[in-house]
Amino acid sequence: MADADSSQNDLFKEAPTPEATPPAPPEPFHPLHTEHGPLKNLVDFNFLQYASYVICDRAIPSIEDGLKPVQRRILHALKEKDDGRFIKVANVVGHTMQYHPHGDASIADALVTLTNKRYLIEGQGNFGNIYTGDRAAASRYIECRLTPLAREEIFNKALTEWIPSYDGRNQEPVHLPCKLPLMLMLGADGIAVGLSTAILPHNFIELLQAQIEILREKKRTPFELNLLPDFQTGGLMDVSEYNKGNGKIKLRGRIEPRKNNRVVITELPHGVNTEALISSIEEAVKKKKVPIRAIDDFTAEKVEIEITLTQGSDQEKAIEALYAFTKCETSITSRLICLRNNRPIELNVDDVLRENTRQLLDILERELQLKKENLLDEFHHKTLVQIFIENRLYKEIEQCKTYEAVQQAVLNGLAPFADQLKRPVIADDIEMLLGVRIKRISLFDIEKNRKDIDAILLNLEEVEKHLNSLKSYATRYLKNLIKTYKEIYPRKTELTGFEQVEVRELTATELQIRQDENGYIGTAVKGEVLLECSSLDKLLIVFGNGRYQVLPPPEKLFIDNQLNRCEVYDREKTFTAVYTEKSIAYIKRFQLGGAIMNRDYFIGASEKSKLMLLAEGTPEALYVKYKPVKNQRIHQQRFNPADTPIKGVKARGNRLSSKGIKYIDSQPGRWWDKSDDGDIPDGVLL
């Protein structure tokens, strides 16, 4: 029994657990390959939404109408309030805020910018000055209105597609039905997420002329447009690297020489105002880059900066210095990125203008179709009224007892005259006839109505003609615009080519390096002139012990009267040097090569070497006079440096001699004994 109990107890004993295996170490986190949680998905989604909004709804213009959203909303608000008179800018800004989900400051700034571009908005009051950089007055003090060009060419309510505004209370246009190449006319700058655009403004008349050429070109004939920027500030322009809107241009202000040693700046490069230009000139004067004595700014409606040069200065060289060292010359990079079908795309100027021309044809065709429909409706209504009154159809409804019977009576009365109409009679037509007043019937002038109908038919014929020859119609439309606005918008920026100003040549004698008796050299030292150089140059200064440095022209540098050489640094220049080390003389030819500024280098093999000769290039010969020693048979020798190969400056030279050298030079001095010339063999370099 005891055995049974023990065996039963063994059944309930816990089985031995296997030894637990340690958990695997977590894999290292990798930002690209490790799976992320929901927070990353949320951030990715929000960032994509933000990037799309900035690109499509703020920074980048659309090719369809050439406008950014804020510009489009400003123009739409102006059109809604337009009555031909000036409107307070503050009122326009407030009205625009119904459509634009940003503050009033951004709207006011965009409106001022559009006004200063002249084409679309006319301003009254202080809208700032594009020449001086002065800001516009507060929006409550200035007024604006649409220009005739904008009023007539960029709006058509019937052709506009509408969407709800940001708060759903109003309707705003997706794009304006613009017939002008606005994006190239106005230019645009914008920075979005991951991309930016820089579109330069072009001349309005030249764009229209290029569109005429596009309409006339044949598909099989290759045709290159020559569209170049034009700026309100004028100036000179080099477009050799413009690359159809995806390159860069160089701009210069116009500088004219005048009497009494003066020059006058009359036009500015784009993007530079008079304040920034004068600051750059003053900075150049402080650095002694340009010889100027006085600057007077008389700019108001036109640019006029009068510069008086120092006495004896050359006007042509002074103008070159202004271009080289001030903002009288600038460069602008252009990159044409815009939205097409609400997606960013990179194009060139030719592509954009061809797209604008295609849109022009499309809008003109839609306008003609709309005009045709309106003329047909007008013809239909006038014809129906004439038939209704002339044939006294209104008499047939006198006996009708129900409204349906009245309608049917009018319809039956019009049936015999169906051939005079251009479309079937509908219920709305009958309602229109039943609404004709008795007074109108009694005063109806049949002859006048017939003349009106004839005029409508002539207009219809003309519209049909335009639709059948749409390109010719578009060409006449563009020519009419050119005729109207040619005198108002002439080209202001002159096309030219710039010769590169050689700055080093211009400033070759800008600085003088002098040496005084106290062991100093530099531009601020009074003493003997060592050399003239440019502030752009680097100087090579070699000390008596063979140590040398490459450094910019110093104002004041202590050399302790141990100067061996001071000249403009040229890394390709070849030198011949003789130095001694441990009583042995070595010779080497070398090029300096590259050097770190203000760092010590040594011509000899080490700091303990002593420099005995440093000559430029390769001398024809070296003449060596040895120190007198007892029982010495050779007292002087002539060596040929050309036997030495050119090495680096750090390399050890060839052994010249183990004898002590008293004199050494590339020319025989008075110490050279000419009587020994034929008896002593030339030295051998080892």
Alpha helices (H) in 22-68, listed in sequence order: 38-54
Residue 338, token pair as written in the block: 């815009």
Residue 253: CB atoms within 10 Å: 26
Grouping H, G, I as helix, E, B as strand and the rest as coil, residue 18 is coil
Contact 634, 673 (CB under 8 A): no
Cα separation, 589 vs 576, in Å, equals 4
The per-residue DSSP string of 130-196 comes to TTT-PPPPPTTT-EEEE-HHHHHHS--GGG--EEE-TTSSSEEESS----S-HHHHH-EEEE-SS-E
Q: Which two tokens stand for residue 207?
A: 């764009």
List, in order, residues 6 or more apart from 41 with CB less than 8 Å away.
none
Contact at 8 Å (CB) between 628 and 554? no
Integer Rg of the chain from CA: 44
The question of whether 477 is a catalytic residue gets the answer: no
Q: Which residues are CB-neighbours of 111 under 8 A, at least 6 positions away?
A: 74, 89, 92, 93, 96, 121, 139, 144
**Is the Cβ–Cβ distance between 663 and 669 less than 8 Å?**
yes
- Catalytic site residue from 141, 394, 477, 489: 141
DSSP labels for 574-633? EEEEEEEETTEEEEEEEE-----TT--EESSSSTT-EEEEEEES--S-EEEEEPP-TT--
User: What residues contact residue 366 under an 8 Å CB cut-off, 6+ apart?
Assistant: 159, 177
Catalytic residue set: 141
